Structure 1
Amino acid sequence: MDVLALVILAIAVLGVALVGSVLGLVVSRRRKPAPLPDTHTDVLVVPPVDPDAPPVELSAPPATLEPEAPAESLAPESLAPEVERPESTASRLVRLRQRLAGSQGGLGRGLLALLSRDRLDEDTWEDIEDTLLTADIGVAPTQELVDRLRARMRAEGGADARAVLREELLTLVDPTMDRSLRISGEDGNPGIVLVVGVNGAGKTTTVGKIARILVAEDRSVVLGAADTFRAAAVEQLSTWGERVGVDTIKGEEGADPASVAFRAVEEGRRTGVDTVIVDTAGRLQNKQGLMDELGKVKRVIEKQAPVTEVLLVLDATTGQNGLIQARVFSEAVAVTGIVLTKLDGSAKGGIVVAVQRELGVPVKLVGLGEGADDLAPFDSGAFVDALLGG
């Protein structure tokens, strides 16, 4: 083989080798190596085990606790006040005697001391008269009682002064008066009790206490908060009702009292309750305004059903001022009964006689304290015994 042929062969071999190298470089650049598998693992270091150590108990993770409901989410019913059971009438009468004896005994003891003197001269009779007047019995009833006592003590000689005084006081209080509350209606209507009196005499509180007396006798009741000029009176009456489970019909502050009274009677008739008790306003600008307002309330009520009882609430400690109030209210509306509040703690029990004589209507209820059940039916015999100190 000649030299030229060898040269050509060498050049051809070098060309082929060069082309192969270029092609291999291109292919290697297009191929990416597959990622190596992640062979990393966490290493758990286990401390050496003491063969003498007690076995370890593994506890389960704590359970997820449900969050407590906030106080605000509690249902209103769960916060409703517990309905009270008022005291019975019999129990009230027992306390009536006890409290009257403690508060009114001064009058009777004073009279007995004077009547028990060996000689009943004119000075003694004047002292007896003064004692009775101080007790707010009134001028006419006092003169009547003194005259009767003088006649009996003169005629009966050594008569028991206590027995004579009790009989004459009982006659003066007049046990023949009908003191029952007219709390029942006719022809399917509820009894309607209208309660009147000046603010400050305990009128709204008395309405609540009367409701308690009726509930204790298992009667159903609706209250009418027609004293709309005093927001406090409306809320106070509602609270009294809630305590014994009785509904109270209310209106906006300053609303027409007659309209509230009308709705109360309407509700009482609709639900078939036994008695509707209506509280009224006790403070107006003048006597004429008072008469007009109360007259309107009564007329509006009687478009649905007759008013069966009109109770006048008087503060027993006001004395002759109470008689003036009694006259005003009796002119505004026909009063059928009197409620004397705050009779405890005062020796002026003679107001019972005076106000009955003034209006010709009986004292039907007396209030003897601040407690919810410190209102009781008036008992003539218990009252006279209390005047005499038991």
Structure 2
Amino acid sequence: MKNKIDNTTIFRTPDGRSYLVPFILVTSLFLLWGFAHGLLDVLNKHFQLAFTMTKAESGLVQFSTYIAYFLMAIPAGIFMKKYGYKKGIILGLLLFAIGAFSFIPAALMHSSTPFLIALFIIACGLCILETAANPYSTVLGPKESAAQRINLSQSFNGLGWILGPLVGGTLIFGAPEGDSTALTKPYILVGSIVLVIGILFFFTKLPEIKEDDEKTPVMTNIPDKSIWKHRHFVLAVIAQFAYCAAQTGIFSFFINYVTEQDPSIDPEKASRILAFGGMTLFMVGRLSGSILMKWTTPNKLLVLFSLISSVCMLLVILALGRISLYALYTTFFFMSIMFPTIFALGLSNMGTLTKKASSYIVMGVAGGAFSPMLMGLIGENNMAVGFIVPFVAFIYILFFAAKGYRS
């Protein structure tokens, strides 16, 4: 019964403390950054149309976002270690709001550069939020159910991914041609919500939880290992880089691929398919993953899901019409558990190094900075060929799930 999903086990520690309320607050952050990332995939196609960019050039949307994770992850971890989770969350929300409202002056400049700078500021905030919220959700309850909690939180992240392209596609692609404020509307909305959430966190008392190995010193003659001597952690950083490269590439060029495979589908309709089809499957996959972990271990589920994702990518590369489209949709379900499960497996048994390890695993998100440009370059004339990038990434994740996760 240890792994049963209910608020008397996964949110309650053996000493009787319940972390359900803090968990709900932290989970709201997963929804927010999911929404922000979901908007990116609409921006990618919009930038191609509005600023006459090639597919590879439009990858700058993702580059300006995900490179922030690489640059900010270590400073975020240092800040968290010194000031704690709560102050880190508030700082992340503040940067998120500043970046969102920066879209207003950017719209007046009629250039892609100010938008890319605003996206970078938003991403700095998102990096801090993810560095705080991912490990925080793993310690809000018993250690044994850490992977279940983070998958549950990430399910709401999936909901944000649904709402992002839905709202963004409607407000951006649905706006009259020449409407310079089209890009600002979704960001004014999300910026306002972020400010409200930030105020709520400021006035809410959150427990500052120490990881088990921080609370109880272990007497041993074995010296502390360097973080880089934890093989499973190092392989988890690489796996997270590979996963984020795959996810970002698939999300970024979903609209391009669908419109190329079926010319009767326009970008606005493709963005709705992305929201209601792909992202819904993504959210359902994470919810299902959290439940399935009652009966199997996280690494075994990751083996199965990464294997199926690899097969789906092969079908996408072959460009078999509707079969390939269905394979692309299916991938959303099976790659859904990868980020949180890799995160939980990578942090396993890291003890006092947990916060530092979290920063490095978040740095793996930088994989999303490079894959869209690489996929765009490979798939400029035939988008299907570009999907060889996520195929290779899923093969590596399969290795990590089968062998590399062992600590």
TM-score range, shorter chain: under 0.3
Q: Give the TM-score normalised by structure 1.
A: 0.21
Per chain length, whose mean CA-contact separation is higher, i.e. which structure has more relative contact order (CA < 8 Å, sep 6+)?
A: 2
Query: Greater helix percent: which structure?
Result: 2
Query: Greater strand percent: which structure?
Result: 1
Q: Give the TM-score normalised by structure 2.
A: 0.20
